[in-house]
């Protein structure tokens, strides 16, 4: 018997992989629904994907269906985006990041006067980083000797200087591009794992490769369909779910897990997998066990403030993904990571799924997932910060889009670091666990197994290899490969 604690995207993937290995699998979820952050909200005719909004590496989802002997296209459909993102600046500059590399490079040259060759070279370097680091950091455990002694790893050691390990993301981008707005555009990829581009290693320039060279995608039924399709597949494989069941303790005897406890009731298990945020897991369900203090004390990633707005008007200049940039990016990140507050001019991200899925909003309306990056919860006066941020966001939207957004908001819901923590058990509302703001960050994530408790395993965005949908799915893969077949 395997017990999985939490049904986030990694927990769902883990349940599928372990069920296919012949294990009886039961999942215990504190919420009344699966998916964790990858859930949805419906308000008065508007549907919103509540959490992650960017879909890359779809093969990680498809692989789960293929392993189960299914044709992925029969269960989960998606399309490749022709435009990855629309970018807007206060001075009127606008840029479409076309998925076609030639079109994107041409757009950059037309809008910024930046030679198209610079974009091509940056994406070539991004692919180079991916080819050498993905097999090492994304597909293997960093906590097993074999990872570091295999021939592919040995080859990567010789290229460390070219992989961006010894520079910051911003430093690498400033050396690559002339135009500060293009540097800003490529710096924003640090936010994909809640990091600061002025501190995080240049290795994070691996991310544009996923979006441009491989592609950005959209599930035809919305991001929540990733959750729903995997949940359905797991149930077809015999996985049993217990919703509304918050685990109180992982039981350990003689340094070996024996199951879990909920209230006075115990559930025996041969293996326990926790998909819960690592920090909160040690503070609660593993509080009686030895604490990995070094990992628990690491700085946490940024969080998010999201306004789910039903907008009673169409904006043809907006696409699925839209970024309205701050005029002072460095100041924005200093506020987030050093001051623990929100700048008056935040970069605004708007995700509008009704562009591709019209039934997500009423006719002649749009569903705006309006988000800014914010610090994790350190006890700030969030009610005041939210009120000020809302006002500043609306003023920014009005300036750039030449409109009156306030009058167009028909429905509203809000998600902030406090509710992110309460709904998803993410420590301090940090979206990606520990931050990646130093060159050793990859080594300061918890392993996918416990070194002190036998038969206890970990998956999800707060452990290796990191946050975001593809890495969460890979964490389940790495973890499941450590467990021998029945």
pLDDT tens digits, the chain, 486 residues: what are they?
A: 999 999 999 999 999 999 999 999 999 999 999 999 999 999 999 999 999 999 999 999 999 999 999 999 999 999 999 999 999 999 999 999 999 999 999 999 999 999 999 999 999 999 999 988 887 777 666 666 565 556 665 555 445 556 667 799 999 999 999 999 999 999 999 999 999 999 999 999 999 999 999 999 999 999 999 999 999 999 999 999 999 999 999 999 999 999 999 999 999 999 999 999 999 999 999 999 999 998 998 989 999 999 999 999 999 999 999 999 999 999 999 999 999 999 999 999 999 999 999 999 999 999 999 999 999 999 999 999 999 999 999 999 999 999 999 999 999 999 999 999 999 999 999 999 888 887 666 667 899 999 999 999 999 999 999 889 999 999 999 999 998 643
**Rounded Cα gap, residues 283 and 289, in angstroms:** 10
186: which 2 tokens?
A: 């490529």
Superfamily classification of domain 2-30+244-298+434-482: FAD/NAD(P)-binding domain (3.50.50.60)
**Which residues lie closer than 8 Å to 57 by C-beta, 6 or more apart?**
210, 214, 469, 470
CATH 3.20.20 for the 42-55+80-99+302-431 domain, yes or no: no
Three-class DSSP category at 42: strand
Cα-based distances in Å from 265 to 219, 251, 455, 457: 40, 12, 21, 22
Please list the residues that pair with 348 across neighbouring strands.
Answer: 324
The token pair that represents 111 in the structure block: 């809008």
Distances, alpha carbon 484 to alpha carbons 23, 154, 273, in Å: 11, 27, 14
| Contact predicate 119/104, CB 8 Å | yes
Give the Cα separation of 328 and 180 in Å (integer).
11
Whether 2-30+244-298+434-482 shares its CATH topology with 42-55+80-99+302-431 is answered no
Q: What pLDDT does residue 161 have? A: 55
Of the candidates 38, 54, 33, 16, the one whose C-alpha atom is nearest the C-alpha of residue 461 is 38
Beta strand 348-351 with 366-374: parallel, antiparallel or unpaired? antiparallel
- Using the structure block, give the residue that is written with the tokens 């949940």: 231
Asked if 60 contacts 37 with a C-beta cutoff of 8 angstroms, the reply is: no
CA distances from 75 to 59, 212, 216, 227 (A): 14, 26, 20, 12
Predicted local distance difference test score (pLDDT) of residue 133: 82
pLDDT of residue 143: 65
d(CA 207, CA 100) in angstroms, rounded, equals 16
Q: What is the pLDDT of residue 442?
A: 60
* Predicted pLDDT at 166: 76
**Whether 435 contacts 383, CB under 8 Å:** no
Is residue 239 within 8 A of residue 15, CB to CB? The reply is yes
Location of structure tokens 């372990």:
18
| pLDDT for position 157 | 46
- Listed by start position, the domains of the chain span 2-30+244-298+434-482, 42-55+80-99+302-431, 101-214
Are the C-beta atoms of residues 64 and 16 closer than 8 Å to each other?
yes
**Residue 64: which of 28, 11, 23 has the closest Cα?**
11
């Amino acid at each position: 018997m395997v017990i999985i604690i939490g049904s986030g995207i990694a927990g769902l993937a883990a349940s599928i992989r372990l069920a296919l290995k012949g294990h009886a699998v039961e999942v215990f979820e504190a919420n009344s629904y699966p998916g964790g952050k990858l859930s949805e909200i419906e308000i008065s005719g508007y549907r919103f994907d509540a959490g992650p909004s960017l879909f890359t590496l779809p093969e990680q989802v498809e692989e789960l269906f293929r392993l189960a002997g299914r044709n992925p296209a029969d269960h989960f459909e998606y399309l490749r985006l022709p435009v990855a993102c629309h970018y807007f600046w206060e001075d009127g500059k606008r840029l479409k990041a076309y998925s076609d590399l030639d079109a994107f490079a041409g757009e950059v040259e037309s809008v910024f006067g930046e030679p198209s060759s610079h974009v091509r070279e940056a994406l070539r370097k991004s692919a180079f980083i991916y080819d050498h680091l993905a097999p090492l950091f994304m597909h293997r455990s960093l906590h097993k000797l074999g990872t570091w002694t295999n021939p592919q790893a040995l080859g990567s050691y010789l290229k460390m200087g070219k992989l961006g390990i010894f520079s910051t993301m911003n430093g690498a981008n400033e050396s690559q591009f002339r135009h500060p707005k293009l540097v800003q555009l490529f710096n924003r990829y640090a936010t994909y794992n809640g990091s600061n581009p002025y501190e995080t290693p240049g290795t994070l320039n691996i991310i544009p490769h996923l979006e441009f060279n491989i592609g950005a995608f959209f599930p035809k039924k919305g991001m929540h369909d990733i959750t729903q399709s995997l949940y359905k597949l797991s149930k077809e494989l015999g996985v049993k779910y217990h919703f509304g069941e918050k685990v109180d303790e992982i039981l350990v005897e003689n340094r070996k897990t024996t199951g879990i406890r909920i209230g006075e009731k115990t559930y025996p298990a041969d293996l326990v997998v926790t998909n819960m945020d690592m920090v909160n897991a040690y503070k609660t369900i593993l509080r009686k066990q030895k604490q990995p203090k070094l990992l628990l004390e690491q700085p946490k990633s940024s969080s998010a403030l999201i306004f789910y707005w039903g907008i009673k008007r169409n904006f043809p200049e907006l696409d699925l993904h839209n970024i309205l940039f701050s005029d002072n990016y460095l100041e924005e990140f200093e506020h987030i990571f050093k001051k623990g507050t929100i700048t008056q001019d935040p970069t605004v991200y708007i995700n509008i799924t009704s562009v591709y899925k019209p039934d997500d909003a009423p006719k002649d309306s749009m569903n705006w997932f309006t988000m800014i990056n914010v610090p994790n919860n350190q006890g700030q006066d969030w009610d005041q910060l939210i009120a000020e941020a809302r006002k500043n966001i609306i003023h920014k939207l009005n300036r750039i889009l030449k409109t009156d957004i306030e009058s167009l908001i028909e429905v509203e819901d809000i998600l902030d670091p406090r509710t992110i923590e309460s709904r998803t058990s993410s420590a301090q509302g940090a979206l990606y666990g520990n931050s990646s703001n130093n060159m050793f960050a990859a080594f300061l994530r918890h392993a996918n197994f416990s070194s002190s408790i036998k038969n206890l395993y970990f998956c999800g965005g707060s452990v290796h290899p990191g946050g975001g949908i593809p890495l969460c799915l890979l964490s389940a893969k790495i973890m499941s490969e450590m467990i021998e077949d029945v």
